[in-house]
Structure formats: C-alpha cells, structure tokens
C-alpha cells in the first residue's frame, strides 16, 4: 500500500495542531514544493514479519527501481525515564518516536528531510496531543541543495548548542530513515560532540571562584582568574582590528590582541579548545569581536559562538551585512546583546539597543607625509579583488536555489545570464530583473524564512559582485587609463587588458599609491560593507583623490559637499566623470579632504569613542 498524502481524520487532527502551535511547519507540509528527494514510500508485507514494513521506493535511471526498509530497530533500548530531551534523526516508521514520547516530561525533536515520509506517517499516527503540549516539534531541513543543507544544519545546531550547555544534554537517536541522509546527521553528531567538549571547558571554569585581589604571590589553584585585560580584541587576521587594538592601547587600556584564522579549516577542534582555554585563563572585562563569531564562516559546525563561553561582556562590531549563519545565531541567542554597527542601515538587522560606529582610517595612512608629490601619475588606480569565482558560485547557487524553492525560475535565470556578453550586460540584466526575482523569492517567506533570506542575500551579492567588475570594464572599454591591483582573476574576467593589470600590491605600498594616483577608484561590495568602505577613508587620510559609488552615509561623514569624496550614481556617468577629474587640478580639494579625515575619521577617533563608551 503506497504511503500517499493522507486525507484521514488523523491527518486533519495533526494538521490542526500544527496550524495552531507550529504554523510554519503546517505551511511547509501543505505547500506546493516539499523538501525531500524520495518520491514514494509504501507498506509491504514480509514473510518473516508479523506486520507490514515501511519501505522507500527509489527510482533512478541508472539502477532502476529499488526499495529500502525504513523499519526502526527495537525501541526497547530507549529508556523513557532518562533524557528529557531527545532528537530523532528521521521519523523512521514511527516506533522509536512513540517510545521516545512515552515519558510525559520528554521533549522530542524529529529531524526528517523527507517531507513525503513525514506527511505519510502524520496520516497514520495521531501526534496532535504531543504537538499541542509542546512535547513534540518537527523539522524538515531542505538538504538536497548545498546552501539549503547548510542552513538546515545551522538551524539544528544553533538549538542544540544551547541545549548542550545544560546539565541534561539531548539524546541523539537514529531511526530507520537515518540511512537516507547519513552525512547530514553525522555532521550534527560531530558538532554536538565538539560543542560538549567546549561546554566541559566552560563548566570547569564556571565551577571555580574569582581569584581574590591581594598582594600575595599567586598559588596554583582552580580559582577563576580576575580580568587580566580591559579589552581583548579578537582579530581574524584583520588589519583593521589589529589597528584598533593598538589605538585602544594608546587610550591607556590593558589590551590583548588575540588573532584567530580568517577562514575555516585552518584550526582543528583541539586548537579551538586551546584558544578558548587561553581566553578563559586570561579573561577580559570586554571581548570585542568582528561581526559576531570568533571564526567568521557559514560552516556552522565549525563556528565558535563566543557568547555562551567567554566571561565578561561580549561586544560585536558588525562590518558585514549579517549572513544567514549570523541571522540564525542571533535568533537563538538568549538574549542577543546590543552591538555596534559599521553602517546605520544595518541597525534594524541587529539586536535592539545597537549603536552606529562608522569605520576609521588606519593609522598608517594618517602617517603619510603632508606633501604634494612631484608628479601625479595620470592614472585611475583601483585596489581590490575581482571576486569573480565568488560571483560565479553565487549565481549558480542562486539559480539552483530558485529551481528547488520556487520552480523553474533558476533555469530561466541561468539561460538569460549565459546570453549576456560582458559584465556590464550581466549587471544590467540583474538590476532590471531584481524586483521580479525578489517577488518570486518572497512568496516562500512565511514557510521558509531562512531560505528566503539566504536567496535574497545571494541576489544582493550577485548584484554588487557584477557591479564591481562592470565598473572596471566600463572604464577600460572607454579607453581611460585604469590600473588594477588585485587577484589574477581580473585577467580571466576579460574586463581589462593585460597591461592594465598590476598584480597584488603590498600593504605598505598603499599610502604612496593612493597619494600619487590622479584618481583612486573605490567600488563598494556588500560583503565588505553595506555603506562607506574603509578604503575611502584610507585614501582620503593619505591625501589621495577618491571616486566612489554613492553611499548615503558619505554626507554624514563629510557634511560639507565641497569637502567630500567624488561620487557616481550609475555606470553610465562613470567614464565622463572620471575623464573630467583627470583633467582638473584637485590639489586643494585633496588637502581639505585629508584634513577633515585626519581630524575626524581615524581609527584613533573610534578607539577613543569606544574607550569612553565602555567606561561610561
């Protein structure tokens, strides 16, 4: 008997309970597009079995038809008297779920990626009572898409990490349907193990008492150390945060600069545990992190969320638009702490009470001698990565996500993009279809809010990524003297000629490049900032001329229109404006811009504000 979409009294009772107590899950189960790759499940009678068994019927062009038993193992090993929190890896045939619910005090989470299997069993097993009582919750991660799979993992782990900090850690239970998504569930198990190891370090530290402040020599003990620093700055190999730590130290604060990797996979679990132990051994009154996590990554099982672990106050300075990992993380924080926002328009995305703290120019650019170079090179200089690989990956991820969540929209998008010639055409296509694409995506917002946020984020990344290359392509095709410093993918993009590419420039050479170039082009990128790029301030502090795409906060940072970086609003006006600036003597404008920046917008100004704010 095929396990079809049920129209039974049991299904109606379960659906009514979900609509009342978990409306998002009810929308997913009744939606037109259901997560899961297996299209059919059926009950079959076996000669050895006293009752019918549940099977998954798999159809593939290579292997033809096959069936896989979903029978749960004997659930007798699940002692209903222990483990008040149980997490089932799949619903199986329902027997382990019912055993897990035998304890009236148990809370059970079922993670089942196969939507049709879940619907079928909801038509046969009455779970309306546990759903209404809050003892049973359901999750259907959409894991047949690489980006969606990570989001499903993030959602699960954000909740489980919070539970792992409690004495009664959740029990992880395999079922008959675990087999269909082994790698997904194994990733959950690995992350839970690591989270418990970190929690053990925290527990050992938390059971100790603060070390008394005396003049006596310290003695070996397990007592909790008093704050060794006023501020610990966690720097993910970031020159900006390195500079901030130095500026805070100049304010008379006891500062520790604690550097961590800027990408996943550099440190293994043991190295992260050692880093946490070091931070606990020498705690700070305030720990300052960029964005929210010690390690900034979308790979949630490799992230280290500092809030549950570190002593003192955690202060985040957000330099990036929150990605989906951060959005999920903040939803599960208890409660999320107010933060600092690099851009004013990020404030609505951050916890209540967050404040605007704009960027500041690095001290190295303020130390450039105040002199006019003997000869300005008649060049438009641009320093920055092409992000070509990222753009291609984001376009592919967006298209496949649109296909899975919204129908064939992604297939059409891919075909249209492939017909465009050049990045100017690609950017114009994306800009012209942005409204329609967002409307298509937003239809799924109530059922899949995190997936919708992710797809909208990808679309924004594609728009800014294509704009970046298109702007350089526009100037190069107009015959203007542009020279680009960055990764070699600039040449692969076809946006400029070989002679216009100058390779990667050393950081110590940037001040003189900014000062000696006729024009310094800045192109904002969403992942770097949602407003004025710090490079704008660096160029101005070094005494260079800035030409940047328009950002509303420029008028806040530079209220006098005569003392403000030059801006363009769209690609069409960029060549003419650049040509005009190349022909003008801008020495007086540069001097005034430099003076205003050095008087108001150095990293030392931000450090002074931070020091006063933390001591208020």
In the prediction, which pLDDT does 525 show? 80
Residue 398: closest CA among 436, 445, 451, 464: 451
For residue 217, pLDDT over 70 is answered with no
- Pair of tokens at residue 402: 């649109």
Q: How far apart are CA 44 and CA 49, in angstroms?
A: 10
Pairing of strands 136-139, 107-111: parallel
- Average pLDDT score, the chain: 84
In this prediction, residue 220 carries a pLDDT of 37
pLDDT of residue 505 exceeding 60: yes
Mean pLDDT of 226-240: 91
Percent of the chain past pLDDT 90, that is, above it, reads 52
Q: Could you tell me the pLDDT band of residue 53, with boundaries at 50, 70 and 90?
A: low
| Residues whose CB falls within 8 Å of the CB of residue 439, separated by 6 or more in sequence, listed in order | none
Q: Which of 463, 457, 401 is nearest to 434 (CA)?
A: 463
Do domains 229-360 and 377-600 share one topology? The answer is yes
Mean predicted confidence (pLDDT) in 123-144 = 92
The C-alpha atoms of residue 531 and residue 11 are separated, in whole angstroms, by 50
DSSP 3-state assignment of 205? helix
What is the pLDDT confidence band of residue 70, given thresholds at 50, 70 and 90? confident
Question: What class is the 377-600 domain?
Answer: alpha beta
Residue among 103, 101, 109, 102 nearest 25 (CA): 109
CB 46 within 8 A of CB 130: no
pTM of the model: 0.87
On the question of pLDDT at 351 being above 90, the answer is no
Does pLDDT of 249 surpass 80? Answer: yes
- 370: pLDDT confidence band, cut at 50, 70 and 90? low
Whether the pLDDT of residue 310 is over 60: the answer is yes
Give yes or no for residue 267 having a pLDDT over 50: yes
Among the listed residues 281, 383, 394, 363, the one whose alpha carbon sits nearest the alpha carbon of residue 602: 363
Distances 293 to 183, 252, 278, 314 between C-alpha atoms, Å: 25, 26, 17, 10
Token pair for 552? 């509303």
Beta bridge partners of 355: 340
Answer yes or no: is pLDDT of 265 > 80. Answer: no
* Arithmetic mean of pLDDT, 92-108: 88
Residue 571's pLDDT band (boundaries 50, 70, 90)? very high
49: pLDDT strictly greater than 60? no
pLDDT at 218: 38
Pick from 31-35, 133-137, 436-440, 561-565: least confident: 31-35
Summarised one tens digit per residue, pLDDT across range 382-404 is 999 999 999 999 999 999 999 99
Q: pLDDT-based confidence at 262, cuts 50/70/90?
A: confident
Q: What is the pLDDT of residues 451-488, one digit of tens each?
A: 999 999 999 999 999 999 999 999 999 999 999 999 99
CA atoms within 13 Å, Cβ hemisphere of 213: 3
- Across the range 39-45, mean pLDDT stands at 64
pLDDT band at 305 (very low <50, low <70, confident <90, very high): low
Residue 213 pLDDT level (bands cut at 50, 70, 90): very low
- Dihedral angle sign, alpha carbons of residues 61, 63, 67, 69: negative
Compare 239 and 374 and report the one with higher pLDDT: 239
Q: What is the pLDDT of residue 50?
A: 41
The pLDDT of residue 17 is above 80: yes
What local confidence, expressed as pLDDT, does residue 301 receive? 54
DSSP per residue over 342-405, as a string? SSGGGGGGS-TT-EE----B-HHHHTS-S---SS-EEEEEEES---HHHHHHHHHHHHHHHHHH
Q: What's the rounded Cα separation, in Å, for the pair 495 and 474?
A: 8
The DSSP string of 94-115 is SHHHHHHTTSTT-EEEEE-S-H
Q: How many CB atoms lie within 10 A of CB 396?
A: 15
More confident residue, 336 or 57: 336
pLDDT band at 329 (very low <50, low <70, confident <90, very high): confident
pLDDT at 476: 96
Q: Which pLDDT belongs to residue 222?
A: 46
Residue 543 phi, psi (nearest 5): 95, 25
Model confidence at 120, in pLDDT bands (50, 70, 90)?
Answer: confident
Q: Is the pLDDT of residue 147 over 60?
A: yes
Mean pLDDT, rounded, for 296-301: 55
What percent of the residues of the chain are helix, what percent strand, and what percent coil, each to the nearest 5? 45, 15, 35
229-360 sits in which CATH class?
alpha beta
DSSP H helical segments within 126-259, as ranges? 128-133, 146-164, 182-206, 239-250
Question: Which stretch of 68-72, 347-351, 391-395, 584-588 has the lowest confidence by average pLDDT?
Answer: 68-72
- Residue 374's pLDDT is what? 57
pLDDT at residue 384 in the model: 94
The arithmetic mean of pLDDT across residues 539-564, rounded, is 94
Nearest to 477 by CA among 493, 464, 490, 495: 495
SS3 611: helix
Confidence category of residue 489, pLDDT binned at 50, 70, 90? very high
Kindly list the domain boundaries of the chain, sorted by start residue: 9-203, 229-360, 377-600
Task: Using the structure block, give the residue that is written with the tokens 């530079």.
Answer: 558
8 Å CB contact between 258 and 279? yes
């Amino acid at each position: 008997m095929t396990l079809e979409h049920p129209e039974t009294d049991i299904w109606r009772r379960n659906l009514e309970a979900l609509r009342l107590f978990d409306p998002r899950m009810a929308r997913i189960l009744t939606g037109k597009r259901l997560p899961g790759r297996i299209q059919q499940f059926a009950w079959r009678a076996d000669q050895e079995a006293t009752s019918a068994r549940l099977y998954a019927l798999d159809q593939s062009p290579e292997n033809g038809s096959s069936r896989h038993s979903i029978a749960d193992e004997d659930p007798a090993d699940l002692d209903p008297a222990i483990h008040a929190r149980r997490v089932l890896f799949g619903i199986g045939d329902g027997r382990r779920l019912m055993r897990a619910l035998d304890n009236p005090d148990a809370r059970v989470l079922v993670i089942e990626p196969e939507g049709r299997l879940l619907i079928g069993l909801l038509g046969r097993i009455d779970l309306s009572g546990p759903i209404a009582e809050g003892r049973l919750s359901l999750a259907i991660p959409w894991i047949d898409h690489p980006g969606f799979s990570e989001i499903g993992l993030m959602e699960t782990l954000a909740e489980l990490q919070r539970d792992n900090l409690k004495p009664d850690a959740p029990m992880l239970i395999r079922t008959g349907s675990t087999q269909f998504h082994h790698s997904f569930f194994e990733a959950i198990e690995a992350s839970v193990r690591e989270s418990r190891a970190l929690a053990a370090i925290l527990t050992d530290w938390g059971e100790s008492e603060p070390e008394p402040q005396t003049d006596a020599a310290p003695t070996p003990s397990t007592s909790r150390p008093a704050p060794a620093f006023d501020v610990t700055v966690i720097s993910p190999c970031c020159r900006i945060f390195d500079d901030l730590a130095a500026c805070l130290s100049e304010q008379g604060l006891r500062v520790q600069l604690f550097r961590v990797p800027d990408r996943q996979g550099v440190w293994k679990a043991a190295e992260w545990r050692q880093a946490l132990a070091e931070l606990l051994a020498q705690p700070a009154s305030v720990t300052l992190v960029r964005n929210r996590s010690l390690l900034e990554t979308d790979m949630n099982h490799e992230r280290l969320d500092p809030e549950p672990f570190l002593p003192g106050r955690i202060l985040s300075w957000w330099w990036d638009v929150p990605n989906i990992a951060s959005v999920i993380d903040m939803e599960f924080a208890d409660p999320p702490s107010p933060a600092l926002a690099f851009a004013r328009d990020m404030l609505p995305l951050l916890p209540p009470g967050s404040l605007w703290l704009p960027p500041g120019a690095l001290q190295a650019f303020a130390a450039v001698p105040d002199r006019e170079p003997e000869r300005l090179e008649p060049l438009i200089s641009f320093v920055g990565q092409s992000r070509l690989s990222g753009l291609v990956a984001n376009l592919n991820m967006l298209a496949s996500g649109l296909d899975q969540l919204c129908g064939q929209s992604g297939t059409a998008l891919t075909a249209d993009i492939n017909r465009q010639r050049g990045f100017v055409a690609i950017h114009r296509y994306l800009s012209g279809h942005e409204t329609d694409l967002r409307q298509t995506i937003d239809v799924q917002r109530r059922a899949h809010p995190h997936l919708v946020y992710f797809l909208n984020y990808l679309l924004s990344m594609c728009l800014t990524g294509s704009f970046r290359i298109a702007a350089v392509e526009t100037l190069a095709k107009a015959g203007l003297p542009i020279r680009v410093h960055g990764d070699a993918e600039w040449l692969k993009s076809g946006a400029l000629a070989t002679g216009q590419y100058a390779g990667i420039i050393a950081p110590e050479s940037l001040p003189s490049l900014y000062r000696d170039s006729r024009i310094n082009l800045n192109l904002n990128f969403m992942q770097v900032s949602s407003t004025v790029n710090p490079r704008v301030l660096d160029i101005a502090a070094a005494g260079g001329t800035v030409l940047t795409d328009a950002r509303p906060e420029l008028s806040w940072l530079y209220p006098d229109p005569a003392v403000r970086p030059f801006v363009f609003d769209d690609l069409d006006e960029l060549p003419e404006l650049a040509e005009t600036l190349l022909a003008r003597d801008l020495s007086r404008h540069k001097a005034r811009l430099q003076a205003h920046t050095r008087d108001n917008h150095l990293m030392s100004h931000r450090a002074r504000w931070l020091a006063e704010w933390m001591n208020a």
